[in-house]
Each structure stands twice: as C-alpha cells, then as structure tokens.
Structure 1
Amino acid sequence: MNVQAPLLARDAARPKAKFRPPAVHQVRVEGFFGPRIDAIAATTAHTLLDRCIAAGMLDQVDPDRPNPGLKIPFQTGNDTVTTQMFWDSDFGKSIETAAYALSRKPDPALEARVDEVVEAYGRLQDENGYLNSWYQRIEPGRRWTNLRDCHELYDAGHMMEGAVAYFHATGKRRLLDIMAGYADHIASVFGPGEGQKRGYCGHPEIELALVRLARATGERRYLDLARFFVDERGAAPHYFDEEARARGRDPQDYHFEDHRYTQSHEPVRAQRHVVGHAVRAAYLYSGMADVSTEYGDETLKPALEALWGHLTEKNLYVTGGFGPSAHNEGLTFDYDLPNETAYAETCAAVALVFWANRMLGLGPDRAYGDVMERALYNGALVGLSLDGTRFFYDNPLESRGAHHRWRWHRCPCCPPNIARLVASVGTYAYGEAEREIAVHLYCEGVADLETAGTKVRIRQETRYPFEGRVALTVEPEAPADWTLSLRLPGWSSAIAVSVNGEAVEVGAHEEKGYLRLTRRWAAGDRVELDIDMPVERLHARPEIGADQGRVALQRGPLVYCLEEADNGAHLNSVLLTPESAFRCEEASDLGGATVLVTQGLREIGADGAALYAPTAPMREAASLRAVPYYAWDNRAEGEMLVWVRQEGAR
C-alpha cells in the first residue's frame, strides 16, 4: 500500500520550495538499478534486521526484555561489537530500507518484523515523547547532557526518516506518530525560548530528517525546528563548551581537538571550507540546503556554494568518495587524496548524494547533478555487494589484496545507509517544481509526477549507464505548458537530442548544463538523447602526488579499476600506452556489467636482479581488463588498482 503525502504537506508546509524530489512510490525503477533493488527487497532488508537483532539491538530497545547492561559483546561475523549509543539510528535506517523494499513488493514476513520493532519502541517511549534506547535503558539520567559526543538527536533523525518511509510504504501511522511525538518533545526542549536549550547535535542529521517529517505530516513547526538547529550551530557562546562545563568537564578535553570535527567551529553562514568528519559535514550541508530551499533563504547559498567548491575542486576522489583519513573519518588538507590508505567511507559518499540532491532543490545545475551521479555509481554503490549481503565501510582506490567486504561491522552505519539509498534511487532521478520537471539521472523505469497542475507520467527506456541512448516518453493527463529539463552529463562532449523525431539545437536550450525544453506537452511526446560514451583517461592535478604518471579510466558515469582476478598480481607493474585502444565487453560474472579490454605492457624484473639497478625493467605485452569500481571484490580475492600507470603520462 503506497500512501501519498497529505495535501497539507504539499501546501501549508511549503513556504517557498522550488524543486522537490518525488516520493519513492512515485518512481518504478528497472534497468541497471532494478536487479539491485530486487536484491535488497528479497535479501538485504531481511539481512539488516537479522544482523541488527543478532547484535543485540532489540534487546537494548525493548523494555520487556532483560536490561542488556553497558557492555555485552556480540559476535557478528568479522567482528565483536558491544552495546552502542547510536544503535537506534541503525534500526531507523534498516526500517527505512525495509519500507522501500515493501514499496517494491509485498512481503508480509518483513512487514511483521518491522512492526515488532516499532511496537518495542512504542513500549519504550516516555509519556512526554522522549525516545532513545541508550539513555532510557543503558545510561538513564544523562539525557541531553552531552550533545557534542553522543547521538541523541542523530538517532532521532534516522528514526524519523524510517517512520516517514514506512508510513508511505504501508499507510501505518504507528511509527510516524511515535516520532512526531518525539519531535514535539524535542521542540519543547530546544529553541530560542526562555528555559530552552540552544543546542544542536554533534552529529548533524536531524536537520534534514525534520524537513522530511514536515513534508509527510504537513506540520510547519518541524521545518522551524530544522531551521533553528541550522541557525544555532556555531553561535557564541559555544553550546558545546557550556555543556561540557555543566557536566564538570574541561571543554578542551576533546578527543578530536576542536569544533571543526563537528562543523560547529563557526556559524554555518560563515563557513567556506569543508572540515572535520566527512559524514557529519555532508549531512549538515544537506540540512542547510533543505532549509534554504524550503524558506527561500538566500543567505545560506554563499556558504553552500563555497563549501561545494572547496570539496569538489580540492578534496574529492575520482570515485566521488571523500574523507581520506581514518583518524577523524574525514578531511585533512587540500589535495590530500592517497589511494591505498583512502578512508572514503561509504556513508560519506551516500551523504554526498543527499547533499547534491538537495542542492538540486535550488534548481537544475549540472555542477550538482554530475557529482551526485559520480558519487552514486562509484563511491556509494561500491559499498554493497552484487548479491546484497556484504558491505564495504571504507573504500580505498588501491588494495594489495587485504581489503575485503564485511559481513557486518562493529560500527554498522554503512550497510543500511547504502541499502536505503539504492532502494530509493528513483527519488533522486527527478525534481518536481510548479511548472518544471527535471531529470537528474537516467535509468529504465516509470515516474508518476506532477507539474503545472497536471499529473505527468514519464517513461525512460535505456541501458544506461552501459549505453548512452535514452528515450523518454511523456504522458500528461492533459496537454499543458511546462518545462522538461534534462541533465547533459559533463563527461560527454557529444550529445544529440530530438523531440518527436525532430533534432533539437542543444546549445540554444542549455542552461547550467541542463537542456530546458519548454512547450505544450501532450501524451505520446517522445524525447530521445544519444549521449556519446567514450573511454576517458583522467589525469589528476599535479598537487595530488600519488596520481602523477597515472590515469583513471572512466566511461560514462562509471570509474573503472583493475583487479588481480583478471590481470594477475603486482598491478603496479602494468602500464597503459598512448596507443592502448579499448573495446567494451559484457561480463556475465559481474551481472552483465560492461568491462573494458585493451592491450598494455607489464614490467618484469630479471631473475636475480638487485632491488635497485641503473637499468630499467624488461617489458612485455599484456592483455588488460578493467571492471567498474562498484563491482570489485565480488569474485576472487586479490589486488585492485584505480590509478594505472601510463607510459608518457606526466
């Protein structure tokens, strides 16, 4: 049962919004993502609940179960985990994933499992609405005393997102009402009023979640609370310092050195550089973009645009991942983009997709659409195995053979995060405005949208991202004048477009990298795009020392890598030549993915040669096979390399 958002959420809670993404149930995705969503619906959604419960999460939540205490270890495959303060967030994301799975296909067993968890939360909730299993079951009496280091509001945000998704998927209001009650309690505790706390979470997330809750319920006060959290962050006197003193601690006694880690080092409108923990940063910027869109708040745009530029121009991996350091799970200094030690957490790439999508709420702009696509197809999608059962937490761009997917993780934030993103990918493909529909991503499927007071169905037929031909059939309920905006990917220099068989002069209708077609649309109108997909050899800026003399291979939105399974070991002994020509092949062992095959060279050390010698190694011809980065480590274990040496490269 798919439930439309209430009319109130579309009107009263929409002060000045420009473009909004459709709900998941409005878009039926097939093609490239279809099998992946099917795998999540059939397998991953159950796997997430299995492993959450095996880790003891339901024991921590349910007041009818014995109190789990502070330290109980659970063995979950690769690692032993203990009770954790952010477990509610993992349940929230797992519920959200299950909701999208139920939107894909009915599954009474899965629905019953979610209902069991929801009822446990219902029993746990205080009369005043407060709901956090850690502070109710593990450390009672300490709620709202350490927002800097702990995760109360972050947990609440993910539970809110799960509640909204589950309501849309099933029509059941139980969890939505529980979380609305908690949001009301939070609004009574935090705010500018007398006796209220002027705090915010050390781990941003609730800001964007409150916007989703407002859209689902139509309650403007949740938007106002999101705006409060955004506006208050970094204000003087610094809340985290005052909070530390209140609990008898020195504010300088801080594991991560200063407030840049939580992006609270200065008010958000003054921020110009992406700093600190990568996931927290992108979640915060997502919330800022949502607030800017919903309120038409132009004062947030200079900061958002500067932060975007700083990330994408100086700190973004070619895969769309970011945050090179394991120490702070985040940023270090500009152009610090090592390959073998890259952290590039899956959650960071997922959060970048969220941020990019929300920047598109301000209007179609290829600067955001292209990065959203890069992060989605590469840095995020790599976090989920092809069968939907194993996961990556960190994502290096080079491995000597020791980096492999996890069955679970001691910090299990990434598995449900990538699962909920992929299962809801249809909502990132489109944007709806009053007289415009934007198409941000190309994928086989059907979308039921609305613009100019008319319901519009758009059908996409394509084998994208493996082929660049896309056909869109527009089916409005009645003829109407509006604009269809289509992203023109920046990685392609040759794009041909026709409408009903007549060629369109792309340059005459392009604006910020989108083709804007304004006309009276009628049922059966057909737009066809032919997007050239050459194999590109990307070169890094000279400031990125690790990549000099090397190239990264990209075709369409996909970044490629070499694996030992195809090319043998010692991948750094392989070279491309300027003459290496690529052909595309379909790989049955990788779900039908397009792989790249070419001829290159391999350097060979002579038997008995010294470790260092004045003569160059011998070379021999070598057949090379590159696979999409998202698909690596799905077959035999071994080495992996994204940046490949190239003869003659600078």
Structure 2
Amino acid sequence: MSTPVPVPNTPQLLSAAAPLREAAVPLPLADVLIQDHFWTPRLQVNREQGIDIQYGHLQDVGALDALDFSHPQPPLPIPVINNNQVTPVMWWDSDIAKWIEAASYSLETHPDPRLENLVDDAVARLAKAQQADGYLNSYFTGREPDKRWTNERDWHELYCAGHLIEAAVAHVQATGKRTLLEVVERYVALIAQVYGPGPGQKRGYPGHEEIELALMKLYRISTNPEHLALAEYFVNERGQQPAYFDLEAVARGDNPASFAFGSNEYAQAHKPVREQNEVVGHAVRAMYLYAGMADLAAELGDTDLLAACERLWDDLTTKRLYITGGLGPSKDNEGFTFDYDLPNDTAYAETCAAIALVFWAQRMLAITGDGRYADEMERSLYNNVLAGVSLDGRKYFYDNVLESRGDNHRWDWHPCPCCPPNLLRLLTSFGAYVYSRTESQLWVNLYVAGEAQVQLAGQDVRLKVQTEYPWDGEITLTTELAQPATFILKLRIPGWSQGAALTVDGQAVDTQNDQGYVTLTREWKSGTEIRLSLPMPVQRVWAHPAVRADAGLVALQRGPVVYCLEETDVHQHLHQVVLPDTSEVTAHFEPSLLEGVTVLTAQGRYDLPSENMALYSSTPPGAETISVTAVPYYAWDNREPGEMRVWLRRS
C-alpha cells in the first residue's frame, strides 16, 4: 500500500481544552464473557446465523461483485421513494462495511478461520476497488464517476466512507491486520483534500451523518490530529450560511426549493449544531450526528457542544421518544415531526434509529456518568432494538410499530437493508455496553450474567455476575483478585427501580446513589460477594397527556421490558380489550414460550355489541370478562400472524 497522500489545507483544531472528564471507556470485547440465559442465545444466533445469512444476501444482490470494475457497470434505473430519487446500490459499500465490522467483533470474541477468510476476501475486494487518488465508492467509480462529490445532500459518499472507517477500526483491533486501515487512511486523506475551509476546497459536509463519529474512532487508534480536525470541521461547518446543500444543488442545476423533504432540517443542517435545541429531521442521521458531537465534545473539552447534546437529549426524551426506545414517528421523512407526535399504528421507529440512540447514549454516559443515559440505552436494547430481528435471527423489521392490525411482518431482506447489518454489528459488540472503566473505577452499566476482566490497582481483577435479569432483579457479583486492592466499583440503579437493596458480604449498604450509580470504594478481596436486589413489580405506565395517540390508554412494563398483547394469546380484536385500573397484573415465567419469557396476566374486559346494535347507539355496548396475556414487545410476530398492541384501553 502506498504512502497516504499529503493533505493541504487541513482544517485546524478550533479547540484545545482538556477532556471533559476521566473517560469511562468500554472494556475490550475479549475481556467480557457473557454467559447469560437471556443474551447468550440471541448473541449466538446473531453470530452463527446472522453473519452467514447476511453475507449470502450481499452476494445475492451483487454488492460484493460491484467492487469489481473489470466489466462495465452501466448506470442503474433510479427508483423513486417519497418523490426522492434513491439508488440502493449507492450505499452497498456501507452494508459491506457493517458486515466486516460485525464479523471483526465476532472474531475478537470467537476466532473462526473460515469467517476470517471471508473477511480477508471482502477487505481485498475493497482494497482492489480503491482508486489511485484514494477514492473508494463502488457506485460512483463503477457507474457514474463524473458525479463524485456532486450531491452530498441526497447521496451517500461520506456516509459510506464513515462505515468503511468503522469497519477498518474494528478489523485492525480484532485481527491486527492493517490492510483495510491503510485503505481508509488514504481515503480520509483524499476527503480532507476535497472538504474544508481552504482555497479550492468544498465547504461541505455529509447529508447523511456518520463519518463524524467514525473519524473520532479513527483518531483514537491513530492519534493523527488530521482525523480529529476533519471531524471537528464537519461538525462545526454543518448549518453554516450560506447553506452548502443549496449551493451544491444550484451548481448541479437543481432548484433547492424542489427538495423532496422540504428543508435542510431533514439533515440537521438548518442551523449550526451549537444553536440547535430540537431534534428534527431524519432520525438515524440525527442520532449519528449527536453521537459524533458527543465524541468531539469529550475529546476537546467543548462544554458548548456538550450543552447542545444535553439540550437535544432532553428534547428527545421528554417529547419525542416511544416507550420502547423507538424514535422517529413518520415514514415520510423517516424521522421527527412535532412535539408529542407518537402515533402507534403508523410508528416508524426505525431499527437503525434505536441502534444509533444506543451509540449516543453510551457516549453521553461516558462523558457525564449520568445513569439516565444508561436507562435509555437499556430501554432501546431490550425493546425496539431486539424487536428488529426475529428470534431465529433470519428476519428483520425496518420500522417498529406499537400497534398492528396483523399486516406487519419481518422480512428476509430489503431494498434498503441498512438495519440488518446494523443489528449484526451492535449485537456482536454487545459486551462493550455492559461495562466501562476509568483508571481506578469499574462501572456496571447493564446486568448480564458472565464476567469481566480488568486491570485495576496494578493487577488483574475479575468480576463475576450471576443473574436471571431481565426476568429477575436479583444480581450477585463476586470479585476475584490475587491480592487485596482498593478501587471503585460503580453499580447502576435503573431509573425504573424503586426499593433497591444492596449488601457486601452480608452487610447492608446504603443504596443512596449519585446520578443513578451506587459508588462502592473499599479494599476488595477475592471472594467478596455483592448482592443487589432490584424489585420488579409490574408497572402501569401512562403517557404525557399531550400524546394524543395514548390518551385513555395504559402500557405495561416490568423491569426494562415493555409488554404488548398479541391476538394469538387473547383471541380477540385488541382494540376492544380493556384493562381496568383495578385488575391485578401478575407475572410468571413460561420456559417453553418464545424461547423463555416472563408473561403478564390479568382479568380484562372485552367490549361486545349489544343485540341488534346499530352503527351508532345511545346505549353502551355489552362486555364480557376475559383473561389477558401480555408478552414482551421484542418477541412479537414470532408466532401466528395477528394483531398487536402496546397501549391498552383502560377504565
């Protein structure tokens, strides 16, 4: 591989403050062992089924072959979606990259020579497809090379580049092989030549954000300040006036006013990011942007940028987030509309958006140490994210409704298959979300059976965890270390939990917590046993009165898990089912149902038409008492097709 090309006019860093706090970084995947009755089967299916299935799809659709330019590849017909021209193959490179990233995470925890050979082949194809100047995009190189860098608003060059960067970072960390890393280093050098504030450069940025957070990952393994500078440029330039997307449209002969999605809010480019107060536009783009902003704020000690992230977080979680951790109610823009607009039967709640929310939440948690970010990370993981894939790992949801008449089902693949490889990479890297650490602290963010290994106080420390979470709130943690040592253990008390109890070697410990974490500072010995009890009663949840779609309705939650009704259990039309406020809801575990779940049962009411009842009547309908069974939302649509509802009528 040749030496990276020089980078003239590299954007200079605008900030140079100290990091915001001691970074709480995830543990390396190889140092986290998951032996959990809930997560292990899902991770195993993802690894043993999902990786091969998705590789087969990439072969079948021609994504891998598109990297071979030995034969002409004529421009494809451009399909129209929502009056916007979209060419699926424009983001094939991102699908390949996410697959490589996921496979690399898998190799880090489960070495597999066969899989490594497949990854090596995909990397070799990408390296061969790279152009002499460093450019790497199979669509534009193979089909429309004259349109490079002409439409960042609608097309996906920088988005695909970002995923290639993330894949390269994961690949070198898992295997030590630098081939893909060297490829993306050359590509990033070219991008830094094209975009920036210098003479002859484009004052542009991506329409679909992603490269910002990817560049931060690249910077952290390379320590190359040019990568940090480019990430900062993309974040700071976004939304500056005159609007780059409008100038770009005029330059290619388009009318900016004819943009199918109305305004630059769609891509969060309507104003500079530090001035943004509301979460707007395309949901996935927004979450990726905010994750990149959080990374940059942490690295540069940029309190203004962090403040923008916190304002946007508050806007999302107080006005625009589904109970399942889904976000973005509208199919029209795959994103946000207005405050408290959270329809259930038309919810979009794209799987990718919930995954990207997990990324953002993890970063905000690392910066602030505030458990509210872990709460939302957990909410999305156990609900919207897991609902995106079937229990057998073969079918996927793109959008995640909270109410269905029975016509919503997962699919094998999709014209825009961004969600399956996104799920694949999140689940193969799941261990990175369970624990985090600083120089002297180990944080337990999620309660998952298994163990963590970490260097603290100059020696190896193992923390073993036993639990049946999320079905049971009893958690036992045991320390193993060669010599007694003093360090800090931080245990999360979830926001949904009330009445938590904690003991260390049988002695009660106050669960008074700081921002959702109990801090245990002591000299630890091998065999010290910590018992944390998180009561898990069934909770009725009511929406804010401004949420029209949920007026007069109630949802059920137990621990982090949100529940729903399915027609196959209730055998009735679900909109006619009423859950009285006075009905006791009980929980019990069903080991043979949906691979083992805790179900909720209650006595409900079923509204029936009275005899000869007209379409409209001055007398109320009749009713009968029925048994109501609720199952976890993530597991719906894995049995007989039928209706589904999260929000239930109440009396």
Structure 2 length normalisation: TM-score?
0.92
Gap regions ≥5 residues in structure 1: 1-12, 75-80
1:550 is matched with 553
Q: Is the 8 A contact 2:88 2:415 kept in 1?
A: no
The offset of 1:483, in angstroms, is: 2.0
Q: Is the 8 A contact 2:46 2:393 kept in 1?
A: yes
Alignment partners' CA distance in 2, 1:96 and 1:534: 39
The offset of 1:46, in angstroms, is: 0.7
1:573 corresponds, among 553, 570, 576, to: 576
1:287 corresponds, among 263, 284, 292, to: 292
Does 1:47 find its partner at 2:53? Answer: yes
Higher deviation after alignment, 309-318 or 88-97: 88-97
Distance 1:479 1:180, change over 3 A: farther
1:143-542 → structure 2 map (5 Å cutoff): 143-451=148-456, 454-476=459-481, 478-507=483-512, 510-542=513-545
2:25 is matched with 20
The offset of 1:161, in angstroms, is: 1.2
Q: Is the 8 A contact 2:604 2:627 kept in 1?
A: yes
Distance 1:73 1:408, change over 3 A: farther
SS in 1 for 2:146: coil
Q: Is the 8 A contact 1:70 1:83 kept in 2?
A: no
The offset of 1:218, in angstroms, is: 3.5
Q: Is the 8 A contact 2:17 2:301 kept in 1?
A: no
Corresponding letter in the other structure for 1:546: A
1:602 corresponds, among 592, 606, 611, to: 606
Distance 1:230 1:480, change over 3 A: farther
Alignment partners' CA distance in 2, 1:44 and 1:186: 33
Alignment partners' CA distance in 2, 1:83 and 1:506: 51
Alignment partners' CA distance in 2, 1:321 and 1:227: 29
Alpha-carbon deviations, 1:594-638, whole Å to 9, x = none?
111222121122354212212222211211111100000011111
Alpha-carbon deviations, 1:472-501, whole Å to 9, x = none?
223356544332211111111110011222
1:35 is matched with 41
SS in 1 for 2:209: coil
Alignment partners' CA distance in 2, 1:478 and 1:358: 33
Distance 1:168 1:607, change over 3 A: farther
Alignment partners' CA distance in 2, 1:453 and 1:153: 42
Corresponding letter in the other structure for 1:37: L
Alignment partners' CA distance in 2, 1:99 and 1:602: 51
Q: Is the 8 A contact 2:587 2:598 kept in 1?
A: no
The offset of 1:426, in angstroms, is: 1.1
Distance 1:231 1:571, change over 3 A: same
Identity of aligned residues (%): 50
Alignment partners' CA distance in 2, 1:375 and 1:163: 27
1:124 is matched with 129
Counting matched residue pairs gives 626
Corresponding letter in the other structure for 1:188: Q
Alignment partners' CA distance in 1, 2:143 and 2:483: 58
Q: Is the 8 A contact 1:33 1:422 kept in 2?
A: no
The offset of 1:591, in angstroms, is: 0.9
1:109 is matched with 114
Alignment partners' CA distance in 2, 1:404 and 1:14: 50
The offset of 1:319, in angstroms, is: 0.5
1:22-101 → structure 2 map (5 Å cutoff): 22-31=27-36, 32-64=38-70, 66-71=71-76, 83-101=88-106
2:595 is matched with 591
SS in 1 for 2:287: helix
Distance 1:68 1:53, change over 3 A: farther
Q: Is the 8 A contact 2:355 2:422 kept in 1?
A: yes
Corresponding letter in the other structure for 1:624: V
Q: Is the 8 A contact 1:59 1:67 kept in 2?
A: no
Q: Is the 8 A contact 1:433 1:451 kept in 2?
A: no
Higher deviation after alignment, 397-406 or 523-532: 523-532
Alignment partners' CA distance in 2, 1:323 and 1:480: 47
SS in 2 for 1:349: helix
Distance 1:26 1:506, change over 3 A: same
1:77 is matched with none
Alignment partners' CA distance in 1, 2:208 and 2:359: 16
Alpha-carbon deviations, 1:537-579, whole Å to 9, x = none?
1011111122122110000000000001111130111111233
Alignment partners' CA distance in 1, 2:601 and 2:29: 37
Distance 1:293 1:72, change over 3 A: same
Alignment partners' CA distance in 2, 1:477 and 1:264: 54
Structure 1 length normalisation: TM-score?
0.93
1:5 is matched with none
Alignment partners' CA distance in 1, 2:453 and 2:135: 37
Q: Is the 8 A contact 2:488 2:521 kept in 1?
A: yes
Q: Is the 8 A contact 2:340 2:547 kept in 1?
A: yes
Higher deviation after alignment, 476-485 or 94-103: 476-485
Q: Is the 8 A contact 2:581 2:650 kept in 1?
A: yes
Corresponding letter in the other structure for 2:642: G
Q: Is the 8 A contact 1:63 1:123 kept in 2?
A: no
Corresponding letter in the other structure for 1:40: N
The offset of 1:346, in angstroms, is: 0.6
The offset of 1:593, in angstroms, is: 1.4
Higher deviation after alignment, 21-30 or 391-400: 21-30
Alignment partners' CA distance in 2, 1:583 and 1:439: 27
The offset of 1:202, in angstroms, is: 0.6
Alignment partners' CA distance in 2, 1:195 and 1:209: 25
Q: Is the 8 A contact 1:41 1:105 kept in 2?
A: no
Corresponding letter in the other structure for 2:566: E
The offset of 1:453, in angstroms, is: 5.0
Alpha-carbon deviations, 1:254-303, whole Å to 9, x = none?
11111110001111111110000000001000000011112221121221
1:8 is matched with none
Alpha-carbon deviations, 1:96-133, whole Å to 9, x = none?
12222323423333222222221111111012221111
Higher deviation after alignment, 216-225 or 427-436: 216-225
Corresponding letter in the other structure for 2:397: F
2:640 is matched with 636
Corresponding letter in the other structure for 1:217: S
Q: Is the 8 A contact 2:564 2:647 kept in 1?
A: yes
The offset of 1:535, in angstroms, is: 0.3
Distance 1:72 1:254, change over 3 A: closer
Alignment partners' CA distance in 2, 1:37 and 1:342: 27
Distance 1:297 1:386, change over 3 A: same
SS in 2 for 1:224: helix
Distance 1:298 1:481, change over 3 A: farther
Distance 1:481 1:227, change over 3 A: farther
Distance 1:451 1:589, change over 3 A: same
The offset of 1:43, in angstroms, is: 0.6
1:563 is matched with 566
SS in 2 for 1:285: helix
Distance 1:15 1:112, change over 3 A: farther
Alignment partners' CA distance in 1, 2:128 and 2:432: 33
